[in-house]
Amino acid sequence: MDPIQTVEVALYQVPLKKAVSDAKVLTGRQRPLAHVDLLTATIETVNGARGFGFSYSLRAGGSALLAHAKDLAGALVGEDPNDIGRLWEKLAWLGASVSRTGVSVQSIAAFDVALWDLKAKSADVSIGKLLGAYRESVPCYNTSGGYLNASTSEVLANVDRSLELGLGGIKLKVGQPELKKDIERVAAVRKHVGDDVPMMVDANQQWDVTTALRAGRMLDPFNLVWLEEPTNAYDYRGHAQLKAKLDTPIATGEMLSSVAECGELIRHDSVTFLQPDVPRVGGITPFLKIANSADLNRLKLAPHFVMEIHIHLGCAYPHEAWVEHIEWLEPAFNERLEIKGGQMFLPQRPGLGFSLSEEAARWRVA
């Protein structure tokens, strides 16, 4: 492949149709989420081949992602885009004095995804196929309809819409000040959908280990696929204790931003479902290292958010994998994922399979 000639980065604020709130909002730690900051990277080679990638942040941090990406972009010019691993290290070391986690790697993620997009396009296959797909589709579940700002009746209506769209599972937010309300909400949805529809709940780190254990025991009878982020994201030992004592499988990992941090979850036997996030850990390159460790320990995989990227990684994972359906970024792209019969299907388009829509231009902030 010819060397890289130009690199462009941009920031968009993609609005949500309605602001959403989880347990962190109810406790005053965060404000309702009204938009997603979308950092994009477009890499073009001398012969005109183009790769597109993106990263994101929620509530704050978008301007920091853009600033760091601008600092790094010029370092890719003249490089061989095939050398994705080496280029990831080059960019990481350039920003090593500020960090090799967080904003630093989340900026790198946009470039990394763009390089994988470019590589897969040159082979005329999807990224999932390039990585050696094990399957053409994975089970998917909806999260966006189960936030705590919605009443129980609204959640039930959202559940019906999700199932009509062909989604296979439903995830509910929990972690309200009164645990009794969480249990009533979960019970209402379970009764509404019956015993056969997969359900998950997500506490968004709301509880300490003692409260999480009490809540988990009350949730065990509902036959949940998993209990997500029951306690602090960095409490590897606490999650391990909950995994050992509860019938419901434990899932976490979305807030972690390095291979090493995700490795601690594996080392402590903290999870049944590992939930790394490609943009947050720095791109597809580090995600593959995490997935390899998870594979060796025969963990299940349920990557967080950005289904447009994670469908490729879910299909390329050897064991059970779920992809989270959150439609917030759909207006920014021209393409849509195929969903039917409870499954999300790997795009047949080359590369990532997504391009920015004309509507996205209205949301460009820098």
Assess whether pLDDT exceeds 90 at residue 98.
Answer: no
pLDDT in tens, 310-319: 999 999 999 9
Q: Do domains 4-124+358-363 and 129-345 have the same CATH topology?
A: no
Both tokens of residue 211?
């409260």
Query: pLDDT category, 29, cuts 50, 70, 90?
Result: confident
State residue 237's pLDDT score: 98
State residue 123's pLDDT score: 97
Catalytic residue among 24, 121, 129, 173: 173
Assess whether pLDDT exceeds 90 at residue 24.
Answer: no
pLDDT in tens, 43-93: 999 999 999 999 999 999 999 999 999 999 999 999 999 999 999 999 999
Name the pTM for this structure. Answer: 0.96
Q: Give me the residue spans of the domains in the chain.
A: 4-124+358-363, 129-345
Both tokens of residue 306?
């950005």
Per-residue DSSP letter, 249 = P
Distance linking the first and last C-alpha atoms of the chain: 30
Q: Look up 304 and say whether it is catalytic.
A: yes
Give me the mean pLDDT over the 156-185 stretch: 96
Both tokens of residue 67?
């600033």
Assess whether pLDDT exceeds 80 at residue 366.
Answer: no
State residue 354's pLDDT score: 98
With a CB cutoff of 8 Å and minimum separation 6, the contacts of 237 are 268, 270
Assess whether pLDDT exceeds 80 at residue 336.
Answer: yes
Output the average pLDDT for the chain: 96
pLDDT in tens, 210-261: 999 999 999 999 999 999 999 999 999 999 999 999 999 999 999 999 999 9
Q: How many angstroms separate the CA atoms of 169 and 174, rounded?
A: 16
Three-point CA angle 191, 193, 194, nearest 5°: 65
Q: Look up 319 and say whether it is catalytic.
A: no
- The highest-level CATH class for domain 129-345 is alpha beta
**β-bridge pairing 4-20 and 33-45:** antiparallel
Where is 247: in which H helix or E strand? none
- The highest-level CATH class for domain 4-124+358-363 is alpha beta
Give me the mean pLDDT over the 302-327 stretch: 98
Catalytic residue among 119, 129, 239, 304: 304
